[in-house]
Structure formats: C-alpha cells, structure tokens
Amino acid sequence: MIHSRRKFKLVKLLGVGGFGEVYLADMSTPSGFTKTVALKLLKEDVNSTDDVAARMRDEARMLGLLRHRSIVQADDLISIGGRISVVMEFIPGCNLSSLLARSCYRPDIPLRVVLHVAAEMADALVAAYSRPSTVTGEPLKVLHRDIKPANVRITPDGEVKILDFGIARAEQMERAAQTQEVALGSLYYMAPEVLAGKGASLASDIYALGVTFVESMIRSRFGLAADTEEEHTAKINRKLEDIDFSGNESHQVAIEKLVHQMLAFAPQERAGGDEVVRAAQALVAELTGPTMVQWARDAVPKVAEGGSEGMGDADLSGTELFEDAPVTPVATSHPSDLFDEATLGVSSSGEPLENTLRPSGTGRPSLWVVVAGLVVIFGLAAFAVDYSSRAEEAVTEAKAKVASDRAVAATTARLAAELKAEKDKASDVADKLEKARIEEEEAKVAAQAKATEKAKRPQVSAGSTAKAKPRPSPSAQAVDVSIKLFSSPLGIPVSLDGKSIGKTPIKVTVKSGAHIVVFHDGDKAIRKTITVSAGQKTRWKYQQASGSVK
C-alpha cells in the first residue's frame, strides 16, 4: 500500500515525561525527502485529557512563533494513530542536569563554560519575552516558567538549547490550556514571590536561571528560596563559599555580584535579562579556561554515550508510524462540538445526542429527541437551582474567612511594628556601647604610640654639651599598604578615618598603623578598628547576616 502521508520510523526513545514520550525519528515524505527529527507523542492514557492536550498544542504554536538559536524549534503539529504529536528539531547531546551529576560526568565544569551557558539562556529568555514575532510583528511576552538544568540541552558543538515550553505563558497569545493562574513549575527553582502565590514574570524566569547558574558552579542543589530577605541573602552567601574560583580569583567579586543580582529576594531588585547577558558575556571574554566549543566537543559525547535518558513501559523504537488524515487535533468537525459538555446527552441507541441533532432527511427531529431534550433542560434547571444555593453558602463562608484573615493580618502587623520598635531601641543602645568601646580603644592606641615614641627618644646627661641626633617619628616611618574592603552583600557605603571612600568592593592605599573603618548598612554603622602593617592581613569583609567584620 502506498501512503500519501508522511512516515515516521522511531529510531530511539530519548526521554519519557509525565504526559509524553520523545523519540528520535526518521521522517520521510511521499516525495522522498528525509529528515531526522524529534517526535513528541502525547501518551495514550492522557491523550483524551483536554487540558494536557491543549497544553501540548500551545507549546507547538508558541515554538512555531519563536525564533532564537537557543530555543528548540517546532516544525509541525500533527496526529499519529490518534495521538497528538509535535514534530521538533532533533538536538543531539545531553541535558545540563546529566553534566552536573558527578555520577555521569566527574570533572569540574569550567567557570567560563558555565557563564557562557548562562549568557545564552538569558538571551533566549529576553528574546522570548521582548523580541517581535516573525509572524505577528508583536512581542509575544513568553514566560518559560520552568527553567532548570533538566530543560537545558548542550550539543557536542557547544550549542545551548532551552527545552519544554509546555507550561510557558504568552501574554499576547490566547492559550487553549487554562494555566495562567496555576502555580506550575519546579519548586526548587521558583522565585520567592511565586512560592508566595504571586504571578510569574520575566524576573521569576531570571531567578530560576540564577539557581541553575549557581548549581552549575557548585554541582549540588541550591534548595528552596528562604522565607525572608535576610535568610535568603545568608543562604546565597553560604552557597557562594562552595564555588571554586581557582585561577579566576580576580573575577570572584564580579561573579558573586551577578549571583546576588539574579537571585535578589525582591523581583524589582533583580537584574534584567539584558543586564545578565552583558555581564556574563563580559566575564566569558575575560576568564581563563577552554571555550564552550572546546569543552563541549570533549565532554558532551562522553555523557551522551550513556544511552537514552528515559525508558518507557511501551518502547516503540523500531516502529513505523504514518501521519493520520489531514484533520488536525485543533480542527472542529461539526458546529455542535462547540456546545458546552453539560448540554450533551446520550440517545437510547448509545450515540451522542449531538449526532441526533443534526438535520435528517425529513428536516424534523423525532418525538423522543424532543422529550430527551426537555429532560436535559429540566435536569439542568434543577442543577442550576441547587448550584445557586450552594454558591450562596460558599460566598458566605468565603466572606467570613476573609474577615478572619484580615483580623489575623492586622494583629500580625501590630506585633511586627512593636517588635521593630524594640529592635531599633536595642540597636541604638548597641551603637552607643560600640562607640564608647571604640573611643576607649583609640585612646589606648594613642597612649601606646606616645609611650613608644617617648621610650625611643635619646637620653642626654646633664653634663653633656653634645646635641642628640633627632630620630624620625613613627609617622615618618609609616609605609603605604594596600587594603581591600568587601561586604556581603556588596554595595555597602564605607568611610575610613571619618572620610567616605565609596561602596564595596573597595581597594585603597593607607599608611601603616591604626585606622577606623565604618560600614554604613542602612541605619546601622558597623565600626572596626584595624591595625595595618606591611606583610600582614590586608582584607576585611563585613557580613550583613552576622553583623560582624572579619
């Protein structure tokens, strides 16, 4: 039998997800054209689930409108054996999650490579959200909403591809799947505001990228976002301590700053996608180590050789499938398909009532059709009355719950205000005690210096007429010493000996001896008396989480 439709020979099972299977397939057309593709088949047991099928159609439509080197391309949306299927470009290689697992790939991943991946992903996210569509001419404002290492593919040629736009959202495109108000995605990569029940945004995609960025450097899980900004910042700092900056120490501050900007607790304080691209690309140009292409050609094949990344119970590898007749899953076969499902009954013959409503040869419906229709109408009316009563009860309960929640919120706000006032008082007392301690320490240092100077003065006897040769004072013997001042987080104003010198990180040259450094952290002033001398420690760091300078 000669088929007039495309044929797909399933070569290998590439992966299995909750709703679909992805195969490497050889596609051939009746004209003899052959191409290697990735074929995403919706599983048979969920093929009839409206929301899942609609989401798969959404993904294909969205990918068809997006064009970027780091976004996987969808070629067509078809039906094979009654199963909705998406024909996609085949991307050789392996997922980033496999490269991060030391059981799959043991060597360290160079920082230069990690930053290259971050830059490519950020550029793709910006393009999906801001770049005008090649079809509509308008930005689609697509949010991925599930950025994580498992959804990033690395090819042996060093290409970076973002996968799985199945739960993405486009503000300018009406979606079949109603996912706009549902919290979807992977918990460990959700931004704090998304975990709190607020909507997704480009900033939340950047946060997920930031988590992926950190995990790529530390080769371990970052974990859930903390509940408060202070806890979240402290967690970031702990994770940064696990990064190996060997050979790239001079860029440590810049990389740590980029991490803090991508993972900022408040979305409005996060770096924009373009900022991430610029910062990451600049670091890639300056860091040492192999390029992305050099590294990928050696590393990726070693991981990809491990076989398929998922196994299914019903592996169809080796099977040849033909595209169904050209009636796509989104086509409507009859106007009555637009009826609400609640209005459709079943005839006594077992056929859907919608089939009996279609015109017959006489043009008149039979009596039993009319009776069945009346039964449906009266049934729906009774259901509507009962539903209305239940709805009123639900509204009453909801109002009571809202009132209760408001009362709890008001009490919580009052207690929080009282606690803040007490903390402010305690902070003022602590500042005064610290100031007194510093003044006492300064006095001791001055007295010590004076005593030392006096002890070094030459003693002249009463009968001696010779004048003692003057010795240089300690201040004249002072040498220039370069010191570095850091803070976590960065960007905190600093003053040295009462003079403002800028924001951290700061490198400044001072004379050897005692100096007073003050970190101005909001309404707090953290003071530290440091003694500087050549050949000794010249780096001090203020930790916001502990309020200490070490």
Q: What is the mean pLDDT of residues 506-523?
A: 88
Average pLDDT of the chain is: 76
Contact between 189 and 146 (Cβ < 8 Å): yes
CA distances from 187 to 62, 218, 223 (A): 24, 19, 9
| For the chain, percent of residues with pLDDT exceeding 90 | 35
pLDDT at 345 over 80: no
DSSP 141-157: -EE----SGGGEEE-TT
Query: Tokens 């009406």 label which residue?
Result: 174
Q: How confident is the model at residue 287 (pLDDT cuts 50, 70, 90)?
A: very high
Give the pLDDT band (50/70/90) at residue 336: very low
Residue 167's pLDDT is 46
Confidence of residue 425 (pLDDT cuts 50, 70, 90): low
Q: What is the pLDDT of residue 173?
A: 42
Task: Using the predicted structure, report yes or no on whether residue 144 has a pLDDT greater than 80.
Answer: yes
pLDDT digits (tens, 9 = 90+) for 23-77: 999 999 988 899 999 998 887 665 555 565 566 666 666 666 778 899 988 788 8
Q: Is the pLDDT of residue 153 over 90?
A: yes
For the residues 234-245, what does the mean pLDDT come to?
Answer: 95
> Where in 156-236 does DSSP place strands (E)?
160-162, 169-170
Q: Which of 498, 529, 535, 499 is nearest to 514 (CA)?
A: 529
Which tens digits make up the pLDDT trace of 390-424? 555 555 555 555 555 665 566 566 666 666 666 66
Answer yes or no: are the C-beta atoms of 92 and 304 closer than 8 Å.
Answer: yes
56 close to 36: Cβ distance less than 8 angstroms: no
Q: 7-304+317-322 has which CATH code?
A: 1.10.510.10
User: In the sheet that 499-503 helps form, which strands lie side by side, from edge to edge?
Assistant: 499-503, 493-496, 513-521, 524-532
> Tell me, what's the pLDDT at 48?
52
- In this prediction, residue 515 has a pLDDT band, given cuts at 50, 70 and 90, of confident
Q: What is the pLDDT of residue 356?
A: 33
Q: Choose from 60-74, 192-206, 399-413, 500-514 the range with maximum mean pLDDT.
A: 192-206
Higher pLDDT, 205 or 131: 205
| Residue 216 and residue 243 in contact, taking contact as beta carbons nearer than 8 Å | no
Q: What is the pLDDT of residue 3?
A: 60
Q: Of the given ranges (48-52, 322-326, 427-431), which has the lowest mean pLDDT? A: 48-52
CA distances from 29 to 7, 35, 324, 449 (A): 6, 9, 13, 92
Q: Is the distance from CB of 243 to CB of 217 less than 8 angstroms?
A: yes
Of 221, 225, 220, 219, nearest to 207 by C-alpha is: 225
* Distance (Å) of CA 354 to CA 349, 378, 383: 13, 18, 21
**Is 90 exceeded by the pLDDT of residue 291?**
yes
CA 330 to chain CA centroid, Å, is 32
Give ∠ CA 396-399-403 in degrees, rounded to 5.
140
Q: pLDDT at position 199, please?
A: 85
Q: What contacts 549, CB < 8 A, 6 or more positions away?
A: 517, 519, 526, 528, 540, 541, 542, 543
Peptide bond into 505 cis (omega under 30): yes
User: What CATH number has the domain spanning 477-550?
Assistant: 2.60.40
pLDDT given for residue 534 in this prediction: 76
Give the residue from 230, 233, 259 showing the smallest Cα distance to 245: 259
Measured CA to CA, the distance from residue 518 to residue 493 in angstroms comes to 9
**Domain 7-304+317-322 shares a fold with domain 477-550:** no
The structural domains of the chain, with segments of one domain joined by +, span: 7-304+317-322, 477-550
Which residue did the predictor score with more confidence, 8 or 453?
Answer: 8
Cβ atoms 500, 513 nearer than 8 A: no
Does 443 score more than 50 pLDDT?
yes
Q: Are 260 and 229 in contact (CB under 8 A)?
A: no
pLDDT: which is higher, 423 or 494: 494
Q: Identify the weakest region by mean pLDDT among 86-90, 121-125, 202-206.
A: 86-90
